[in-house]
Chains A and B, each alone.
Chain A
């Protein structure tokens, strides 16, 4: 598999996006299936190992991660989401995994194995920092029994990172992350994914019931892993995907405006049309700068090996949540307004060269994917104690 010591990973993503993702995106959506060809292309280009320092042949960073996600999403939102979610899990393994977790990284490098995420749970919904199902000691090992209502690419992943309550007598805020391999068996897909959009993610319901060695459980509390790695990687990765999908649709639209065969060329004489077009670009640039600024901030923390307390900063968390909230709204809004500009034939019909209709359906999931209402509720509280040093209340002596 390729390493990117000499090659710009963003350039690799551009190649994959234009050559492969573009070719298969409609078929993936229409046949409601996993994007095998596109993920295979990312695998061959070595992009599935992003965040593994050795494999990447150099330092990795969040700004580049977001650029790659956006480039991929220009042509296929589902593939880009899968890539971003897999990278989030890889980043967790790199940042927080013990020796017994590192072999997963070897597998990712050697075979391009995918790692999936299991945080949502029946009853508690998307509340990331709590878990209901407890880890159950069984002889020297531990039983993982859990319902997972929605697990993206579950049928195509070799590994899963699950959030579990640390023990039956522990509180649901006492969450641990545990590594499960498909090879462990005991994983059952209990339904299908027949969704409005993001169909290629094949986010199916799964139940897990299996016993693993104790060392599969991460030593650090999940909260620390989430604050330091998962929340930044998830909010920024997803946002970059949504932004990229909207940018892709916008660029396809713009590209054909001056073509001689464009039947609506007369629009270009309309001040109203031009100002509406320009307005969309304002939203795109807003998203871009929000994402890039937040990613650069996380990069500076990562490069200076900042402690967990720095990631607990209330202002930082408000702004990370805001990137997710704003981009999930704006990206959909841009494509909604693009439907208006494109009109019936190019905007509302399926399988046009612009693919606006598919991107519109795909992006409708953005506000729901880690529900904005939940994040707004959190931010409302954080704002009340911002700059008061209230982080000290929940900072633990052990560094959390």
Chain B
């Protein structure tokens, strides 16, 4: 895992590890892991959405509530960054 200076990626990874219970499953993820394959179902997706909003102080608008946004850690990171930038 490459680290980013602002720690956003690390925070997203930490949220994902927690929600997908990766430690208990002795699994880990990379930036391009398929979240669906790691067990992201409808309820976990909503929990993750709420985690992201709380952690980063953002609101994910309806247009970003898509399978594409929630495909991999990378796609989530793009969404989070775009919202943080818009927030200024």
Contacts and interface: CB of A to CB of B under 8 A. Distances in A.
A44 B77 CA distance: 62
Interface string B37-58: 1111111011101100000000
Interface in A106-145: 129
B16 to A, nearest CB: 14
Contact of A173 (B39, B47, B66): B39
Interface string A342-386: 000000000000000000000000000000000000100110110
Contacts of B36: 396
Interface SS majority for chain A: loop
A171 interface: yes
Contacts of A388: 62, 65
A392 interface: yes
B67 interface: yes
How many chain A residues sit at the interface, stated as a range, is 20 to 34
Contacts of B47: 381
Interface string A386-399: 00111011111100
Nearest to A394: B42
A394 B62 contact: no
A382 B39 CA distance: 18
A206 B69 CA distance: 42
A1 B41 CA distance: 44
Contact of B62 (A171, A389, A395, A397): A389
B65 A392 contact: yes
Contacts of A333: none
Nearest to B70: A393
A172 interface: yes
Given A171-B38, A384-B50, A389 B65 contact: yes
Contacts of A397: 67
A297 to B, nearest CB: 20
Given A172-B39, A173-B41, A382 B66 contact: no
Contacts of B62: 388-390
Contact of B45 (A171, A389, A394): A394
Contact of A392 (B41, B46, B66): B66
Nearest to B71: A393
A108 B69 CA distance: 46
Contact of B46 (A129, A172, A381, A396): A381
B69 to A, nearest CB: 7
Interface of B: 36-43, 45-47, 49-50, 62, 65-67, 69-70
Interface of A: 129, 171-174, 223, 378, 381-382, 384-385, 388-390, 392-397
28 contacts: A171-B37, A171-B39, A172-B39, A173-B39, A381-B43, A381-B46, A382-B46, A384-B46, A384-B50, A385-B49, A385-B65, A388-B62, A389-B62, A390-B45, A390-B62, A392-B67, A393-B45, A393-B65, A393-B66, A393-B67, A393-B69, A393-B70, A394-B42, A394-B45, A394-B67, A395-B67, A396-B67, A397-B67
